[in-house]
Amino acid sequence: MKQHHIYWWNLENLFDIENSPDRPDWFQKTIKNELKGWDSLVLEKKLTNLCQIISQMNQNQGPDILGVCEIENEAVVVKLMAKVTAITGRNYAVLHQDTKDKRGIDIAIIYDSDKYATDGKVFSLEIMKRNATRDLFQVAFTTQDGNELVLIGNHWPSRMGGKFESEPYRMMVGETLSYWIDRIHEIKLKDNNDKNPAIVLMGDFNDNPYDRSITDYLRATGNLQKVKNARSHLLFNLMFPFLNSKYGTHVYGSEQSILDQFIVSKSLVVNSTSYPFQVAATNLLPFPELVKGDYNTPIRFGRPSSKSTFNEAGFSDHLPIELVINERD
């Protein structure tokens, strides 16, 4: 039986350097004040800190697959993974697509190209309110045994302006993604006669597992029996066990939240020889150097332009999470 170690981490504003030539003019003007002092030395320090954590994943072997958000462009992710490769010796490739998010922060999915095959195609959807908001980012990998695993990276609209004031935008994304899941099932059934494709949603949903955007609109539950019995494409949320635990993936003041989540389709949690994959474990990764204080608050790196949060010894304002999947021989 083979194992697949999949990770998700919101890297907290991993920007390219100030005045980067890889940045479009419209964004250069938008982000100018925010990136004051974000030079090559600061970026190098941020990358080194992140690499310190990523290289520890999977028992110091590095991730098989890693989804990240709050990255500006492919160039910074390539630099980051070059550092991880130097430690782990793995052959990582990066899938990314620029979006029109007004802060220029995107999703990327990184994978060990010696372990997975992909046609390089990505599907990205920017949910529109008045402006483009954070995107949904889908890729498909084929394992060495020929089984397909569909991954969808998520970074849902933030809670800026208030949780309930901003909630309708996340409901809109949840509804759209639920339709997207239905379409994947339709396509897989038509093309491959696959009634239950293996789908993994991972991301920063900016809501907790029990919030309406996820339970009512995305149609994800922590009730395994409901998923087993459902005639519709009900999803299973793997993060309910972490509610009210010692750690949250994000902490605001004294409020711990599980904003970063793995949510999977039925075939990953119903044990059947018809399904090649089975969830083996889900974990939060509160490495000791990542958290501090009574609430185990993730230690931010911040930005030089915000002196109150800038900390060169920091990492991110989110914790990484891990999903381990078994694949049948």
Three-class SS string for 238-268? CCHHHCCCCCCCEEECCEEECCEEEEECHHH
* DSSP state for residue 193 in the 8-state scheme: -
pLDDT for the residue numbered 133: 55
pLDDT for the residue numbered 271: 87
* DSSP state for residue 283 in the 8-state scheme: E
CATH number for the domain spanning 143: value is 3.60.10.10
Mean pLDDT of the chain: 91
In one-letter notation, the amino acid at residue 95 is L
Mention every residue, 6+ apart, whose C-beta is less than 8 A from residue 23: 16, 31, 72, 73, 104
Count: domains in the chain: 1
pLDDT for the residue numbered 99: 63
pLDDT for the residue numbered 30: 73
pLDDT for the residue numbered 119: 82
Cβ atoms of 84 and 110 within 8 Å: the answer is: no
Angle at 284 between CA 240 and CA 208, to 5 degrees: 40
Q: Round to whole Å and give the CA distance between 169 and 64.
A: 32
Low-confidence ranges of the chain (pLDDT < 70): 24, 26, 99-104, 126-134
Q: Round to whole Å and give the CA distance between 263 and 234.
A: 10
Cβ atoms of 130 and 138 within 8 Å: the answer is: no
219-269 pLDDT, tens digit per residue, is 999 999 999 999 889 999 999 999 989 999 999 999 999 999 999 999 999
What are the backbone dihedrals phi and psi of residue 165, each rounded to the nearest 5 degrees, phi first? Answer: -65, -35
pLDDT for the residue numbered 105: 79
- SS3 percent helix, strand, coil of the chain, rounded to 5, is 30, 30, 40
pLDDT for the residue numbered 132: 45
Domain encompassing residue 169:
2-327
Q: How many other CB atoms are there within 10 angstroms of residue 139's CB atom?
A: 23
